[in-house]
Amino acid sequence: MIDKPYSEDFHLSPTGFHPLATHLSYTIGLYQELALQLEDAASMLISLAAWAIEPSANLADLLERVFITSSSKASTRTDDRPYHVGIAHDLAHTERRITLNLRQFAPSILEEDAHGILRYLGLPWAKNVSTRVRPTQKTQEWNALPRFANELIDTLFQEKSGLVKEYNNKLKHGPQIVLTNVRTAIERRGFTEVPQGVAADLRVRLLLNGSQTDVASTQHIGGDGQDDQSVESDQPAPFLYHEIDRLKNLIDHMLLPTANEMFAIAKWVYFRRFKDWPPDYDYSIMDKVVRPWLDRRTAEGT
């Protein structure tokens, strides 16, 4: 735990911000990006599956109707189809918004093998196909599709190592930065006497690994004019901003691979749908980001 007076005049970095604040902001931004990527990827996967079921639908409309949740309360279904299949049919055959529960979607789609995942997305795969399905110059990319599909689903949804674990364990808990009164924190730990000299002003408390919040959540329990009651909250602190290797691992083994695999699959969905290869993309922009990642992965032998 790091405690600093809220009003302390920190020495600023050349950027005008305290280095700790800058570092913490970067870390929070990374976790937010991971959350957005998981939600975008899950929404795209189910929308592509619905698009394969109902080709006359508009993909943008399908995406707009997907609502993501990770509630531990499972939604009930009346059919016997696997969750990921049934929810795709719901999206394809109704005009209403559908709720995609990641806690149900993840174990369901993990039951599929690589070929099943590609069929689900509207890409029935076989190694030996005609050039109408697989242009000769794209043979290497076509042959890599099953591996991409497996790695994508594992990276996103594996219970113990996937992005969904970071999403549920890291982003749904909090707070991680707390404005708290030291005297109040001491009293909540059961001490009846507060030592002399303990500051009564607000402090910024940064919760690192293993820390637990001691800041009570407030619940209103009475009618007008009655006091609120403070109830103890005990939640973990996920943003381990000081673990640089962990943050690099999130980028190298989750964020960038997911983007790469989704891009590879999306190109083939485009080709199958429009019978043409996607327009050329300015890869020099992507290369500035991806090249250092590829170099690191090569050095690691992965």
Residue 74 pLDDT class (50, 70, 90 cuts): low
CA atoms of 266 and 276, how far apart (whole Å): 13
pLDDT tens across 105-152, in order? 999 999 999 999 999 999 999 999 998 899 999 999 999 999 999 999
Specify the 3-state DSSP secondary structure of 181: strand
CB 293 within 8 A of CB 252: yes
Q: What is the pLDDT of residue 233?
A: 40
- Tell whether the model's pLDDT for residue 211 goes beyond 60: no
Q: What is the pLDDT of residue 221?
A: 29
Residue 217 pLDDT class (50, 70, 90 cuts): very low
Nearest to 252 by CA among 295, 209, 205: 295
Which residues are within 8 A (CB) of 106 and not within 5 positions of it... i.e. 6 or more apart? 156, 157, 159, 162, 164
CA atoms of 14 and 181, how far apart (whole Å): 31
- Tell whether the model's pLDDT for residue 21 goes beyond 60: yes
Q: What is the pLDDT of residue 166?
A: 67
Round the average pLDDT of the chain to a whole number and report it.
76
Most confident of 51-55, 65-69, 243-247: 51-55
Q: For the chain, what percent of residues have pLDDT higher than 90? A: 36
Most confident of 10-19, 25-34, 216-225: 25-34
Mean pLDDT of 19-48: 82
Its pTM stands at 0.70
122's torsion region: left (phi>0), alpha (psi -120 to 50) or beta? left
Q: What is the pLDDT of residue 185?
A: 73
Pick the more confident residue, 30 or 96: 96
- Tell whether the model's pLDDT for residue 279 goes beyond 80: no
Q: What is the dihedral of CA 285, 290, 291, 293, to 10 degrees?
A: 160
- Tell whether the model's pLDDT for residue 287 goes beyond 50: yes
Q: What is the pLDDT of residue 254?
A: 86
Pick the more confident residue, 255 or 174: 255
16's torsion region: left (phi>0), alpha (psi -120 to 50) or beta? left
Query: DSSP secondary structure string, 33-76?
Result: HHHHHHHHHHHHHHHHHHHHH-TTS-HHHHHHTEEEE--SSPPP
- Tell whether the model's pLDDT for residue 4 goes beyond 90: no
In degrees and rounded to multiples of 5, residue 3 shows phi and psi of: -110, 130
DSSP 96: S
- Tell whether the model's pLDDT for residue 63 goes beyond 70: yes
